[in-house]
Structure 1
Amino acid sequence: MEITHHDAVKAPLWLLILLQGAVSAASLVVEIVAGRMIAPYVGMSLYTWTAIIAVVLAGFSVGHWWGGRIAALPTPRALRLAGWTMAGAAISTAAATLLLREASGPVLQTLTHPLAAITTLTAAAFFLPSLFAGVPAPILAVAAMRGRAQSERALGAMFAAGAVGAIAGTLLAGFLFVAWLGSVATLAVITATYALAAALFFRLGDVRRGEAVAASVGVVAAFAVGAAALAAPRICDRESAYYCIRTVHLMGAPGEEIRLMVIDHLAHGLSGEADPSLMLTDHGAMLDALPRMRMGGADFAAFVIGGGSYSVPRAWAERGVREVVVSEIDPEVTAQAVEDFWFAEGAADVLHVDARAALQASDRRYDVIVADAFHDIAAPAHLVTEEFFRLVRSRLTDRGVFAVNLIDYTGRLDALAAFVVTLREVFPSVEVWTDATPPAGNERRIFVLLASDTDSPVSAVDIRAPQVKRFAALDAGFLDAIIARKGARKLTDDHAPIARLMGLEPIID
């Protein structure tokens, strides 16, 4: 295409570079925030981030293709059209929160397969913002080159501005916006950024009076949608750098309140006010009772991985356990437990660091180490490997026991088999405890694995959970048969596909 004076843009190159960097930064902020916003509905896992990245890149790709076609037009008209796409980015970004709220129910009820549900929900909320944000890049690059000497340098500067903007947006989202403003307010800031970009594009494109009026209406609409999103009821009681945390109030016996802690979309603990020693879930009951059974009534020192509602540390404090150290990476989880779950500050020594880092940092040895950080597809891979289990064993006393909970489906048991194989690489004795009743079909089942130097003195125990229930250790021959049938391999720091092993079961039971 022949370049004419009419095609050349009057704006200085620095302004085009600034626009490129700002739009790129804003689009990456939206991508990072997408992970936080979708977590309360489908959780945060490898599958979640895979879907988010794929959807956002698909939006950028379509936007770049569209922007390339627009860039072939005379520069002023191309810039005005870029302004319209920025108005679209502002409106669709502002609407993402409301779309998630409205679409989550129908999508999760219709699509029970996690990958389909996560991808569809992500696309519904974040494809359009990414598409619109992808349009200006080729338009700005062509505008920077037209009518300039050394246009190749201008093109390089525009590419560099996009990359620097993406880096800045990633850092701002991860270290500043989400932690200090929350996801909804962050999207409001991005809405304003896109609206300002739209105004600049219209100005650079010598917008006409009629278009200016329509553009103003679009910007007002974006701010109105953003205000509606900010005014909507909050999903999270606390939104931290790690999680969306909320408390669900339930009723137990007459006059007794029971509270459920939900982190992202998963239940992480159930507690009642009246009796701190009463566990209200199977996994809590086993993690409380089985280590005490192994200690034979003697006092002990314990290290607990994962705080949640702090039900087990609270119970052990009530029972007078000598020392309880809790590694809970998120201080906001602890604050929620203190505020809503009757956990008394000082009842345990709480470390707000990753459990693996905490164990590596000290050679302190414990009689009991409990890992209560595994929920469905959200299991932290670095806490399920042979290397981590060897670290755990090095921090146990001679009589020590490691108790770890695991959720698996009885029709699969791939994750259970891998856990057992890996623990057997490190510990002479590995037991798998669960509800003594036979499973019904492909049942979601909670297991607690005990690993130590010696076997338990009993093979079954009766525990209140909250009614008295019998829990038993699975037969070693049964475990061997599962391992052989599954061809289970140990989990290592190099390869720990725990999300795949846990299976792609329905998000909604």
Structure 2
Amino acid sequence: MEDPEKQSLAPLWLLIFLQAGISASSLVVEIVAGRMIAPYVGMSLYTWTSIIAVVLAGFSVGHWWGGRIAGYETGRALRITGWTMIAAACATAGATLLLRALAGPVIETLLHPLAAITALSMLAFFLPSVFAGVPAPVLTVAAMRGRDRSERALGAMFAAGAIGAIVGTLAAGFLFVPWMGSVATLLVIAAIYAMAALTLFWLGGATSREMTISLGGIAAVCLIGIGAFSLPSVCDRESSYYCIRTVAMSDDPNDPVNLMVVDHLAHGISNRNTPRVMFTEHAAMLDALPRMRMERTDFTSFHIGGGSYSVPRAWADRGITGITIAEIDPEVTAVAAEHFWFDRDTATILHNDARRALRGSTGKFDVIVGDAFTDIAVPEHLVTLEFLDLVADRLEPGGVFAMNLIDNVDRLDALSAVIVTLREVFASVEVWTVASAPVTGERRVFVLLASDQDSPVSAIETAAPDRTRFQPLDPGFIDNILHRKTAQILTDDHAPLTHLMGLDRVVD
């Protein structure tokens, strides 16, 4: 008589398809997790580290649980796994609701950023990962059980899981999030999990009663999904790179002032009627210091990062031409033109990574402005010795490089590292900041000017938006800091700028 296990074998191709589909979906959720958490705690190495750790922990628990389920008779194991897929669909669809409801209280309670990031990742994405991790061992055992050459089935299932993970990662970054946004992507994944559940019930020989109950579970998924989709979006625009919001700062419709928020960080403020007025210290210095050094308006400039385009807009209003801007995200440029009154025709805009754009430029510039920020720090590949060599090579004789940096006045580790790296390339490195005494624990804005000669003035005053005085730090004071810090030169091989910035900030 033929073995009953062989009579009830599920089609191997279908098990492979399920394995690949569930694996792909779980990786989509992992990628989307980073995008969804970014508006609350930013996007940094620490964010991705926490998300990956939480998701892998969830998969591990799910695999262990699935291994126990796989010990049952095949039909029963598949039916139980179907219920875990219903749970995965509910948890995935509800992640948006949980994140929206809990982000504020978690951030207010856990002031240390790593704790807040890890807690949010755990609360929103641990359970979806646990439930999504269950099917892999169950499907693998089902594929091997009762088959000749079961080793081949084992290899096929492992390969399907790996290929699915690759496809899911690529699909999330290149298709789902850019085309649909984060919330809609999670709902699509919830729907895929629900379809996987129905398939598992069918393969496991579920009774009509079990199928009816499962439809009730799918109805719950739909209700949760409707609730998540009906929430107002956190982002005005969600691009391939950022969550972008425009916040009105003025109640006067005749004198509008807008703030651009990229992920959770304020990137710039502009007034429609006064383009030359800067509203932040870093923008005021980046506007005024290069103009002071050039002492003319017929100079060319290359801007690393666009943001609200406040400085290029102000320079264009002064009649300065020859402006080139490298902004990696086209949506940021679109928002700047629509809500921050930037005229695209006044500049050459390169939607590319600034380092790649600068390397590809054939001309030289009188001024290069570094105004790129990701989460709490300048992108690390834009402060290394190799990049600064490129900057120096692209400057005209007598040209100047100006970049902003934020650091804690009690440590100044990041500032020290950037200074010693700049000094390897430039003869003169000045550190400008607001002319006021530091306060313990203050995170202060600095602008570093690097060139082949010192500035002709020892202070400037400009609107930020009130009249504000800025001056360079005394060279002896800087040398003393560098001596105490034994600062390291930042290179492409090792540039731990985010680590040097410290983690003492409160997450906004």
- Once the two structures are superposed, residues 355-397 of structure 1 have per-residue CA deviations (whole angstroms, 9 ceiling, x without a partner) of 1111111231111000000355342111010000010000101
User: Equivalents in 2 of 1:341, 1:74: separation in Å?
Assistant: 64
Q: Is the 8 A contact 2:416 2:487 kept in 1?
A: yes
Task: Give the AA of the match of 2:162.
Answer: A
| Residue 256 (structure 1) aligned with residue 255 (structure 2) | yes
| Residue 247 (structure 1) aligned with residue 246 (structure 2) | yes
Q: Is the 8 A contact 1:327 1:355 kept in 2?
A: yes
- Once the two structures are superposed, residues 148-188 of structure 1 have per-residue CA deviations (whole angstroms, 9 ceiling, x without a partner) of 11111111111011011111101111111111111111111
| Residue 296 (structure 1) aligned with residue 282 (structure 2) | no
The aligned residue for residue 336 of structure 2 is: 337
Query: Which residues of 2 match residues 230-245 of structure 1 at below 5 A?
Result: 230-245=229-244
User: Equivalents in 2 of 1:252, 1:396: separation in Å?
Assistant: 43
The aligned residue for residue 4 of structure 2 is: 5
Task: Give the AA of the match of 2:228.
Answer: A
Identity %: 64
Task: Give the AA of the match of 1:133.
Answer: A
State which drifts further: 247-256 or 268-277: 247-256
Per the TM alignment, residue 73 of structure 1 is displaced from its structure 2 partner at its CA by 0.6
| Residue 111 (structure 1) aligned with residue 110 (structure 2) | yes
The aligned residue for residue 216 of structure 2 is: 217
| Residue 122 (structure 1) aligned with residue 131 (structure 2) | no
Query: Which residues of 2 match residues 367-378 of structure 1 at below 5 A?
Result: 367-374=366-373, 377-378=376-377
The aligned residue for residue 389 of structure 1 is: 388
The aligned residue for residue 410 of structure 2 is: 411
Q: Is the 8 A contact 2:43 2:374 kept in 1?
A: no
User: Equivalents in 1 of 2:283, 2:144: separation in Å?
Assistant: 64
Per the TM alignment, residue 54 of structure 1 is displaced from its structure 2 partner at its CA by 0.3
Per the TM alignment, residue 210 of structure 1 is displaced from its structure 2 partner at its CA by 3.0
TM-score (normalised: structure 2) = 0.98
The aligned residue for residue 96 of structure 2 is: 97
The aligned residue for residue 87 of structure 2 is: 88
The aligned residue for residue 378 of structure 2 is: 379
Task: Give the AA of the match of 2:229.
Answer: L
Task: Give the AA of the match of 2:168.
Answer: G
The aligned residue for residue 47 of structure 1 is: 46
Query: Which residues of 2 match residues 175-324 of structure 1 at below 5 A?
Result: 175-251=174-250, 255-324=254-323
User: Equivalents in 2 of 1:362, 1:306: separation in Å?
Assistant: 16
User: Equivalents in 1 of 2:108, 2:335: separation in Å?
Assistant: 30
- Once the two structures are superposed, residues 290-318 of structure 1 have per-residue CA deviations (whole angstroms, 9 ceiling, x without a partner) of 00000123521110010000000000000
Q: Report how many aligned residue pairs link the two structures.
A: 507
Q: Is the 8 A contact 2:5 2:145 kept in 1?
A: no
Secondary structure at the aligned position of 2:454 is classed as coil
The aligned residue for residue 478 of structure 1 is: 477
Q: Is the 8 A contact 1:7 1:75 kept in 2?
A: no
TM-score (normalised: structure 1) = 0.97
Per the TM alignment, residue 252 of structure 1 is displaced from its structure 2 partner at its CA by 7.2
User: Equivalents in 2 of 1:117, 1:474: separation in Å?
Assistant: 35
The aligned residue for residue 159 of structure 1 is: 158
Task: Give the AA of the match of 1:250.
Answer: M
Task: Give the AA of the match of 1:232.
Answer: L
Per the TM alignment, residue 455 of structure 1 is displaced from its structure 2 partner at its CA by 0.2
Task: Give the AA of the match of 1:357.
Answer: R
Q: Is the 8 A contact 1:7 1:76 kept in 2?
A: no
Q: Is the 8 A contact 1:245 1:261 kept in 2?
A: yes
* Residues 138/4 of structure 1: CA separation in 2 closer, same or farther (3 Å cut): farther
The aligned residue for residue 456 of structure 2 is: 457
Q: Is the 8 A contact 2:284 2:464 kept in 1?
A: yes
Q: Is the 8 A contact 1:23 1:133 kept in 2?
A: yes
Per the TM alignment, residue 7 of structure 1 is displaced from its structure 2 partner at its CA by 8.5
Secondary structure at the aligned position of 1:143 is classed as helix
Secondary structure at the aligned position of 1:242 is classed as coil
Task: Give the AA of the match of 2:42.
Answer: G
Task: Give the AA of the match of 1:443.
Answer: E
Structure 2 unaligned blocks of 5 or more: none
Cα RMSD of the aligned pairs, angstroms, is 1.4
Per the TM alignment, residue 208 of structure 1 is displaced from its structure 2 partner at its CA by 2.2
Q: Is the 8 A contact 2:9 2:146 kept in 1?
A: no
Q: Is the 8 A contact 1:35 1:49 kept in 2?
A: yes
Structure 1 unaligned blocks of 5 or more: none
Task: Give the AA of the match of 1:64.
Answer: H
User: Equivalents in 1 of 2:266, 2:465: separation in Å?
Assistant: 17
Secondary structure at the aligned position of 2:403 is classed as strand
The aligned residue for residue 138 of structure 1 is: 137
- Once the two structures are superposed, residues 35-70 of structure 1 have per-residue CA deviations (whole angstroms, 9 ceiling, x without a partner) of 111111111110011011100000000000000000
- Once the two structures are superposed, residues 178-236 of structure 1 have per-residue CA deviations (whole angstroms, 9 ceiling, x without a partner) of 11111111111101100000000111111123322221111111111112111110111
Task: Give the AA of the match of 1:154.
Answer: A
Q: Is the 8 A contact 2:10 2:142 kept in 1?
A: no
Q: Is the 8 A contact 2:43 2:375 kept in 1?
A: no
* Residues 375/45 of structure 1: CA separation in 2 closer, same or farther (3 Å cut): closer
* Residues 301/252 of structure 1: CA separation in 2 closer, same or farther (3 Å cut): farther
Per the TM alignment, residue 480 of structure 1 is displaced from its structure 2 partner at its CA by 1.2
Q: Is the 8 A contact 1:8 1:143 kept in 2?
A: no
The aligned residue for residue 167 of structure 2 is: 168
Per the TM alignment, residue 8 of structure 1 is displaced from its structure 2 partner at its CA by 6.8
- Once the two structures are superposed, residues 388-439 of structure 1 have per-residue CA deviations (whole angstroms, 9 ceiling, x without a partner) of 0010000101110000000111111110000101000000000000011011
User: Equivalents in 2 of 1:112, 1:4: separation in Å?
Assistant: 61
The aligned residue for residue 35 of structure 1 is: 34
